[in-house]
Structure 1
Amino acid sequence: MTVFLVIGGIGLVVLLASLVFGDIFESFDIGEGGFSGIAAGVGAVVFGASGVIALSSDLPLVWAYVIGVGFAVVAFAAAQGLVKRLSETEDAPPPPLDGAFGTTTSTTGPSGGEVRLEGVRDLEARLAWADEEIAAGTRVVVVAVSGSRVHVRPV
């Protein structure tokens, strides 16, 4: 029973570490889509839990290992497939805004304003500031980015 508890405990630590700190096996590109620490942790936890349950049901040790490995393989495959599907749906990083063109939608100056940028996928309108007052409707270019705000100058 100790083997099942130890492997299950290690799996729980790997699972929690992968959830809190990011996938710890991310740098190892094993197989298609890599090897997920989350899936490995799930597999080890299921192996430990199902082995303990099998032994608690007075099954022979051999059957506890067979049941543990069987459930662990199924759990690992399911978790790995889910992690892979979720990672394929991640959004691409937003395009760089430096050099993007747009139009001011309000008077924009050192105290702030707003611009509507062209060809930007994530947000059409952004808070902006400029070194000098720029009237609404003026064509501008982004010269710097600070968080979600953009620094603009007239074109």
Structure 2
Amino acid sequence: MTVFLVIGGIGLVVLLASLVFGDVFESFDIGEGGFSGIAAGVGAVVFGSSGVIALAQDLDLVWAYVIGVAFAVVAFLVAQQLVKRLSDTEDAPPPPLDGAFGMTTSTTGPGGGEVRLEGVRDLEARLAWAEEEIPAGTRVVVVGVSGSRVQVTRA
């Protein structure tokens, strides 16, 4: 029973570490989509707990190992597939805005304004400011970024 408790405990530590600090095995690109510490932790916890349950039901030690390994493999594969699906849905980082061209949609100056940027995927219209007043409909280029606002100058 000690083996099942130790492996289950190690799995719990790996699982919690992966959830709190990020996936502990993400630097190892093993297989398609990498090897997930979350899935490894789930597999180890399921191995330990199912082995302890099998022994508590007075099954032979061999059957406890068979049951533990079988459930652990299934749990690992399911968890790995779920982690892979979730990681495939992550958004790509936004493109850099410095140097992007656009057009002012309102008069833009030190007090603010608005521009419509070309080729930017996340937001086309952005709040903007400029050191000099730029009339609406003027072609501009982004020279700085502060949060979601951009600093522009005449192109």
Q: Shorter-chain TM-score category?
A: over 0.9
Partner of 1:57: 57
User: What's the % identity of the aligned pairs?
Assistant: 88
Partner of 2:10: 10
Aligned residues: 155
**What SS does the aligned partner of 1:151 have?**
strand
State the Cα distance separating 1:16 from its structure 2 match: 1.4
**What SS does the aligned partner of 1:131 have?**
coil
Amino acid at match of 2:77: A
State the Cα distance separating 1:121 from its structure 2 match: 0.6
Partner of 1:86: 86
Q: Distance in 2 between matches of 1:53 and 1:111?
A: 69
Amino acid at match of 1:112: G
State the Cα distance separating 1:72 from its structure 2 match: 0.4
Q: Distance in 2 between matches of 1:9 and 1:107?
A: 63
Deviations 1:98-137 (A, max 9, x none): 1111112222222322211111111111121111122222
Runs of 5+ in structure 1 lacking a partner?
Answer: none
Instruction: Kindly report the root-mean-square deviation, in angstroms, between the aligned alpha carbons of the 2 structures.
Output: 1.3
**What SS does the aligned partner of 2:102 have?**
strand
**What SS does the aligned partner of 2:93 have?**
coil
Deviations 1:61-113 (A, max 9, x none): 11111111110001111111121222222222222111111112222222322
Q: What is the TM-score normalised by the length of structure 2?
A: 0.93
Deviations 1:17-38 (A, max 9, x none): 1112111101111122211101
State the Cα distance separating 1:11 from its structure 2 match: 0.9
Q: Distance in 2 between matches of 1:134 and 1:21?
A: 47
Partner of 1:26: 26
Amino acid at match of 1:128: A
Q: What is the TM-score normalised by the length of structure 1?
A: 0.93
**What SS does the aligned partner of 1:141 have?**
strand
User: Where in structure 1 do 4 or more consecutive aligned residues deviate above 6 Å?
Assistant: none
State the Cα distance separating 1:42 from its structure 2 match: 0.7
Partner of 2:46: 46
Partner of 1:146: 146
**What SS does the aligned partner of 2:152 have?**
strand
**What SS does the aligned partner of 1:142 have?**
strand
